[in-house]
Structure 1
Amino acid sequence: MATKQSGLGRGLGDLFARTDEDQSTPLQDGSTFAELPLEQIVPNPQQPRTIFDEDDLAELAASIGEFGVLQPVVVRKAGRNSYELIMGERRLRASKLAGRATIPAIVRGTEDTALLRDALLENLHRADLNAIEEAQAYDQLLRDFGCTKEDLANKIHRSRPQVSNTLRLLNLPERVQMKVAAGVLSAGHARALLGLPDAESQERLAERIIAEGISVRSTEEIVALGRGRTEPRSSVSRGPRLPNERERDLSTHLSDHFDTRVKVNIGRNKGKITIEFASGDDLERIMAILDGTTI
């Protein structure tokens, strides 16, 4: 049975008239267009997105069943009759759900490292990633493609502290990361948990946040008070004074600027700023910022 096509679908069909899987159409940038069997396309190990909404996929599958795939996926040759997906995993998955045998694809070169890097960057812009998927994508770009944090921040139009703070989420224990990826724990909660000294405390407080519906602000206060454990204290003691709004704002600003935890305490006559560092190299990095920049 012939599938119904919209005007846009027919337009693409006219543009890419040769759809036989053994044929391809050369494109101006040196790549080719072809209609490829779904079974020949393997998943992209560099795909940052790992969680796909089933309802969204079902809706896209219904659209593909009626109108076809309106935007080709992007692949590269991986072997004889085998292609590696670079962009378009939602379209690929939905096409399988729709029962299609083939999918329109643009085939790129096999050794184009810059292409893979840029494809991953495009996925970061276009995909609705959760905070952990985003952090993993950042980490992959830094490790596999030699990007610096500054380069990455510029390419995705975010500040370097934003990139650094997102990457820090990968320091959380795996169980907490899974909760963030599943959407039961927000990125704000996750960043607050990083202030706790060990994985066990982070996991316990994460469970408490979910069970009690604790807000991000309350979580930050719990961490600041050093009460990241769920069991009550054996004796009641007066805790430290909670930071006021001015102190919190300054602490957040300086923490972002120095890419580490900074505490600000403003007293009646004097104050104190505490900058934490993880190692000698980290201290040298902070000293370089102090010597070379103005806040």
Structure 2
Amino acid sequence: MAKQSKLSELEDNLFDQLSFFEVEQKQAPEQPQPKSVPAYQKGRLYRLEVAELLPDPSQPRKTMDQESLAELTASISRLGLLEPVLFRQSEYGQLFVVAGSRRLEAARRGGLKHIPGLLADGDAAEIALVENLVRQDLTCIEESEALDRLKSLHCYTLAELAGIIGKSVPTISEIISLTRLPAAIRDECRSDHKIARSILVEIAKLPSAIEMQAMYDRYRKEGLTRSSIRNKEGVKKERKSFVRLFRSFSSKITAIDLSAMTDKERKKIKNELESLKRSIDESLDKLN
């Protein structure tokens, strides 16, 4: 039995030294090679792949008119893209379209694989906003939100924004005031090129979101004009001023020191207060 065990041990040692099979070697997984990021230069025209171009998150345009987009797509399909887009490159090499988002979308729909592009120089948000404003493509809500975002991003004053955009300070102030509107109104108007900014400016002057929504609903239902909206707001302000006047007048009357007056003065004051009381009673009767 011991002899058989010793023979088995010798056989195992022999197979360990002279194996007929190759030992399978485990190979280390290949490490991904870092992708080289091309360096783009200002002033050079590039042939860019449509599939690699991404919409810029800071792009002020949030909606596109489908009818005009279809017309642009047909034109680009027939003639190609004649005007280059402006793009920026992220630190990871991604290409974002700063100006020309409609052209990019039309090229994509038209089946183009490559389009011309120029590297944007300067602040991407400013370039996109100015480019859209010059083309008058933005709705008043898109313009308002883009200006407000630009103001917050760079801590611009209204005067600085006015210089960048080429509009007066009061106009810039009016445009940004639209961000006060409730989200429901802004969402509905964001793609509406027909609604006048002046109408929304008057609605945005109302003191609360509830009043703004109510006035906007009336505008949609009754077709209110800017002057009618403004007059309704003016009447409301006038009524508030009356309340302040009455309170002020009442406090002044109660503050009168009658003890320091002569009998003649007290008689005059009494007559005036009685006359005022009659007028107040008449007004109270009308309010009942």
Quote the offset at 1:210 in angstroms.
0.3
- Post-superposition Cα deviations, 1:186-229, rounded to whole Å, max 9, x if no partner, equal 322211112322111110111111011111111112222239xx
1:39 corresponds, among 51, 74, 88, to 51
Equivalent runs, 1:93-132 vs 2, <5 Å: 93-108=105-120, 113-114=122-123, 116-132=125-141
Q: Give the unaligned 5+ runs of structure 2.
A: 1-37, 240-288
Q: Any conservation in 2 of the 1:46–1:120 contact (CA below 8 Å)?
A: no
1:213 equivalenced with 2:223 (yes/no) = yes
Identity among equivalent positions (%) equals: 29
Query: 1:128 and 1:202, CA in 2 relative to 1: closer, same or farther beyond 3 A?
Result: same
Q: Secondary structure at the match of 1:75?
A: strand
Paired letter, 1:210: R
Distance 2:45 2:39 in 1: 5
Equivalent runs, 1:128-277 vs 2, <5 Å: 128-183=137-192, 185-226=195-236
Query: 1:25 and 1:44, CA in 2 relative to 1: closer, same or farther beyond 3 A?
Result: closer
- Bigger proportion of residues as strand: 1
Q: Any conservation in 2 of the 1:185–1:210 contact (CA below 8 Å)?
A: no
Q: Secondary structure at the match of 1:71?
A: coil
Q: Secondary structure at the match of 1:105?
A: strand
Paired letter, 1:202: M
Query: 1:197 and 1:145, CA in 2 relative to 1: closer, same or farther beyond 3 A?
Result: closer
Query: 1:41 and 1:219, CA in 2 relative to 1: closer, same or farther beyond 3 A?
Result: same
Q: Secondary structure at the match of 2:90?
A: strand
- Post-superposition Cα deviations, 1:36-58, rounded to whole Å, max 9, x if no partner, equal 22111111111111121111111
Which contiguous aligned blocks of 4+ residues in structure 1 show a shift greater than 6 angstroms? 24-27
Quote the offset at 1:25 in angstroms.
11
Distance 1:74 1:195 in 2: 37
Q: Give the unaligned 5+ runs of structure 1.
A: 1-23, 228-238, 241-295
Q: Any conservation in 2 of the 1:125–1:156 contact (CA below 8 Å)?
A: no
Distance 2:205 2:130 in 1: 29
- Post-superposition Cα deviations, 1:207-255, rounded to whole Å, max 9, x if no partner, equal 111011111111112222239xxxxxxxxxxx86xxxxxxxxxxxxxxx
Query: 1:117 and 1:214, CA in 2 relative to 1: closer, same or farther beyond 3 A?
Result: closer
Q: Secondary structure at the match of 2:236?
A: coil
Q: How many residues align?
A: 202
Quote the offset at 1:93 in angstroms.
0.9
Q: Secondary structure at the match of 2:87?
A: strand
Q: Secondary structure at the match of 1:226?
A: helix
Quote the offset at 1:145 in angstroms.
2.9
Larger C-alpha radius of gyration, 1 or 2?
Answer: 2
Q: Secondary structure at the match of 1:147?
A: coil
1:65 corresponds, among 64, 77, 80, to 77
- Bigger proportion of residues as helix: 2
Paired letter, 1:84: F
Q: Give TM-score, length-normalised by structure 1.
A: 0.61
Aligned to 1:82: 94
RCO comparison, higher one (Cα < 8 Å, 6+):
2
